[in-house]
Structure 1
Amino acid sequence: MLRIDYPEHPFRFKKTDEKEFIFDEFRKSWVRLTPEEWVRQNFLQYLLKVKQYPASLIAVEKELRLGELKKRFDILVYNQQHKPWLMVECKAIGVPLEESVLMQVLRYNIAVPVDYLVITNGDYCAGFVKSGIELQPIDVIPDFG
């Protein structure tokens, strides 16, 4: 498992009709604050502040097609040539990072091939680099560039 130290961030919150929302700085909109969204927002700040990934090369919750199915990836980072490079699948804290989670991100990888795959539930994080058709575990999230 990878160690992730999330940076402090002044998240913005609001409550409407008993529902909580968090402002997503990447999507520039208020989104429902779910346990998975909390993990996604913290991981985004980790990529931005700790790993120094450029915000302009990070996409959040975009649609992709798997045959007839429409799915949404959580986080996709593009490289300097604007090609998909790293994909992150976020789960709520407490959701086990089982094989089914890895299989989910691997299915997304069919539609959007990347070099690096990461799965996280906020507490735990696992990362892999693709080497041909094999996945090799990584010890750290790669630096950008």
Structure 2
Amino acid sequence: MQDLNLPKAKVRIEERDGKKYIFDPIRKKMLMLTPEEWVRQQFLQMLFSMGVSKGLVGIENGLKVNKQAKRSDLLLFDRGGSPFLLIECKAPSVKLSNTTFEQVARYNATIKAPYIGITNGMQHYFCAINFEKGDYSFLKEIPLPSYIKKTS
């Protein structure tokens, strides 16, 4: 798989019948190794290395957007169980654009996380959402819940 602009992490990859699979530690199963799944699993490993607990991460949680069933890629919860950071993952070949932001924003209209992000493994963008004003501001780094100690 392609090198990403993320810290290199060890992940379990297996080959079966000529196809590669990657282990998802949240869903506790092997999944088809696609470029998007590669990004999701590498980003997830980075979150773990930053101090995020597995118990506070949801992957492909179901939600309804305009009466259609959708799935969020990564959802980080705070210790109280409230959504904290919603992240949309794309394959490295997918250019991050306004369309990508619009997708995560539509999902977040239902989820209501105070932070959203998009990544293709090469570029990563995060925003703080101000629901009262109906706007957002870009952040210079990944937002983390206050209980996670940031190290420089």
Judge same fold: TM > 0.5, yes or no: yes
Indicate the residue corresponding to 1:84 in structure 2: 83
- 1:5 deviates by 6.0
% identity of equivalent residues: 35
Is there any run of 5+ residues in structure 2 with no aligned partner, and where? Answer: 147-152
- 1:6 deviates by 2.9
CA contact (8 A) 2:85 2:113 kept: yes
**Residue-by-residue CA offset, 1:74-127 (whole Å, 9 max, x unaligned):** 000111111001000000002111110000000100111100000000000011
- 1:14 deviates by 1.2
Higher RCO (Cα < 8 Å, 6 or more apart): 1
Residues 1-12 of structure 1 mapped to structure 2, 5 A cutoff: 6-12=6-12
- Aligned to 2:37, what secondary structure does the other structure show? helix
Cα distance in 2 for partners of 1:47, 1:10 equals: 13
CA contact (8 A) 2:62 2:69 kept: yes
Q: Which runs of 4+ in 1 moved over 6 A?
A: none
Q: Point out the more displaced range, 63-72 or 120-129.
A: 63-72
Is there any run of 5+ residues in structure 1 with no aligned partner, and where? Answer: none
Cα distance in 1 for partners of 2:126, 2:11 equals: 26
Indicate the residue corresponding to 1:26 in structure 2: 26
In the superposition, the TM-score normalised over structure 2's length comes to: 0.88
